[in-house]
């Protein structure tokens, strides 16, 4: 086979991987729309897709001429340690001790997503290094398709994708939600970086359009944390841009730009969906009230912000060092209070204990070190001519900065171990920084 055919084959494998990945993420509930998310016998379509990932990974042409940073290698090594700990201690030994044990096979099958997530860290790293443009194209086109299909369903009531309609407690209006948002929710940090910076990029206008569509999607869902989070993402993006540009981090010019862009976005949303504009304003007021008084406007205490969910605290006290280990009740959200999605930090301590949390902690320490180092390097070497790689690095950096600022969600990869997003973003972050530094020919000490 000649070089041209070989290169075409590997390019096709790149695109196939990222298309499969978006389908794996179930963005927009595509799996549900096709009715193939559950296959029966405890298996689902993602089990099959993961097998395809593995095949593509091992037949993929090796990566040449990429100098990996020492920190990237250390994170990958620690990911293996974390995987073994979670599979062996969390999945088997601790349940034996706490009498929550069924069988090695049962527990291993139930926590297989921990293995999938760590594997995806390695998979996405390799495929992004090989062809980052393929990721970007597939991500943007897939996101556009999902958002257009969802928003048209609001206007025509023709549901190609499954839609959830539910009442919102603090306002007399129904929430309109996708069954699954998957990876497309990362359009918010990506769009925030594009809006806050002045870098030229081929897909800049499309990204801004997708950002607005995603913002409208959050607004019609009347999800307070996402609406408020979108504002914080944009603000942090402006602060990051000022820093790497060598400007005053909090300048009058930045404040003026932030307010101006915010007013433009608010105006567009008011014109497009005035009813949900009012609901989003109410959602923001409700959130601010909760943050200020730790209770809703109706007087209900917010246990999430106060870290005071009694059932979870009691579970931690029963087994403070190793937690409950794997327990099927964490996935059922039964009346005993086994809730992990709404209380990630408390659930992480209750499920994995102090030891499990400490095993995960190095990921955060590595991340903080990388973010600080990368910001200094981008500022020092003015890497603004590497638009494609820089955009991706900055938006992933923004994703993790915002993630680290939300103390109630710390260690969520432990408690919501079926969610792939955090580890995939980590793999993409490692790949984007290694690729950027290799292109720019910058030596790294970390």
Number of domains in the chain: 1
Q: Is residue 446 part of a domain?
A: no
Average pLDDT over every residue of 81-96: 91
What is the Cα 426 distance to its own chain's centre? Answer: 9
165 versus 422: the higher-pLDDT residue is 422
**For residue range 342-386, what is the model confidence (pLDDT) as tens digits?**
788 888 898 889 999 999 999 999 999 999 999 988 888 777 665
Confidence of residue 143 (pLDDT cuts 50, 70, 90): very high
pLDDT over 70 percentage in the chain: 80
pLDDT of 333 > 70? The answer is no
Is pLDDT of 10 > 80? no
Q: Is residue 232 part of a domain?
A: yes
Instruction: Check whether 224 has a pLDDT greater than 80.
Output: no
Give residue 346's pLDDT.
86
Q: Which domain holds residue 212?
A: 3-439
- Looking at residue 1, its pLDDT comes to 42
Give me the pLDDT at residue 332, please. Answer: 65
Residue of 446, 428, 408, 196 whose CA lies nearest to 304: 408
**Residue 354 domain-assigned (yes or no):** yes
How far, in Å, are 211, 232, 239, 274 from residue 263 at the CA level?
15, 15, 18, 14
46-69 pLDDT, tens digit per residue, is 999 999 999 998 886 656 567 777
Bridge partners of 164, per DSSP, are: 177
- Residue 444 within a domain: no
pLDDT at 279: 63
pLDDT category of residue 257 using cuts at 50, 70 and 90:
confident
pLDDT for 84:
94
Q: How far is CA 386 from CA 40, 164, 168, 195, in A?
A: 47, 41, 44, 17
Looking at residue 306, its pLDDT comes to 52
pLDDT attached to residue 396: 94
- Reported as a single tens digit per residue, the pLDDT across 176-204 is 888 888 899 999 999 999 888 876 667 88
pLDDT average, residue stretch 243-255: 77
The reported pLDDT for the residue numbered 246 is 79
Asked whether residue 224 is domain-assigned, the answer is yes
- The whole-angstrom separation of Cα 413 and Cα 45 is 22
Please give the radius of gyration of the chain, using alpha carbons only, rounded to the nearest integer: 22
Give me the pLDDT at residue 139, please: 94
């Amino acid at each position: 086979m000649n070089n041209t055919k070989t290169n075409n084959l590997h390019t096709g494998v790149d695109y196939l991987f990222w298309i499969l990945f978006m389908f794996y993420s179930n963005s927009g509930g595509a799996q549900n729309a096709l009715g193939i998310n559950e296959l029966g016998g405890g298996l689902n379509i993602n089990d099959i897709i993961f097998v395809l990932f593995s095949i593509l990974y091992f037949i993929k042409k090796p990566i040449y001429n990429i100098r990996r940073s020492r920190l990237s290698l250390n994170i990958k090594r620690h990911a293996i340690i974390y995987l073994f700990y979670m599979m062996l201690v969390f999945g088997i030994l601790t349940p034996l001790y706490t009498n929550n044990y069924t069988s090695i096979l049962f527990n291993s099958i139930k926590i297989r997503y921990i293995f999938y997530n760590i594997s995806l860290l390695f998979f996405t790293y390799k495929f992004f290094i090989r062809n980052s443009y393929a990721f970007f194209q597939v991500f943007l086109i897939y996101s556009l398709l999902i958002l257009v299909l969802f928003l048209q369903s609001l206007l025509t009531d023709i549901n190609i994708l499954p839609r959830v309609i539910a009442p919102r407690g603090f306002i007399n209006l129904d929430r309109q939600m996708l069954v699954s948002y998957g990876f497309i929710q990362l359009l918010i940090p990506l769009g925030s970086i594009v809006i806050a910076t002045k870098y030229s990029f081929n897909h800049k206008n499309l990204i801004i359009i997708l950002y607005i569509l995603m913002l409208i999607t959050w607004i019609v869902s009347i999800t307070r944390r996402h609406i408020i989070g979108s504002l914080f993402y944009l603000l942090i993006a402006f602060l990051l841009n000022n820093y790497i540009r060598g400007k005053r981090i909090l300048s009058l010019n930045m404040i003026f730009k932030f307010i101006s862009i915010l007013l433009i976005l608010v105006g567009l949303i008011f014109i497009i969906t005035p009813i949900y504009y009012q609901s989003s304003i109410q959602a923001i007021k409700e959130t601010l009230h909760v943050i200020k008084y730790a209770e809703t406007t109706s007087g209900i205490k917010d246990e999430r912000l106060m870290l005071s969910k009694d059932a979870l605290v009691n579970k931690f006290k029963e087994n403070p060092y190793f937690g409950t280990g794997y327990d099927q009740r964490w996935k059922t959200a039964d009346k005993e209070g086994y809730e992990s999605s709404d209380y990630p930090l408390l659930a992480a301590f209750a499920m994995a204990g102090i030891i499990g949390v400490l095993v995960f902690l190095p990921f955060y320490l590595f991340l903080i070190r990388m973010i600080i180092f990368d910001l200094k390097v981008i500022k020092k070497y003015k890497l603004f001519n590497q638009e494609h790689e820089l955009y991706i690095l900055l938006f992933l950096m923004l994703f993790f900065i915002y993630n680290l600022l939300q103390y109630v969600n710390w260690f969520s990869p432990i408690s919501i171990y079926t969610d792939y997003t955090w580890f995939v973003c980590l793999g993409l972050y490692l790949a984007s920084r290694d690729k950027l530094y290799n292109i720019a020919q910058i030596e790294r000490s970390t």
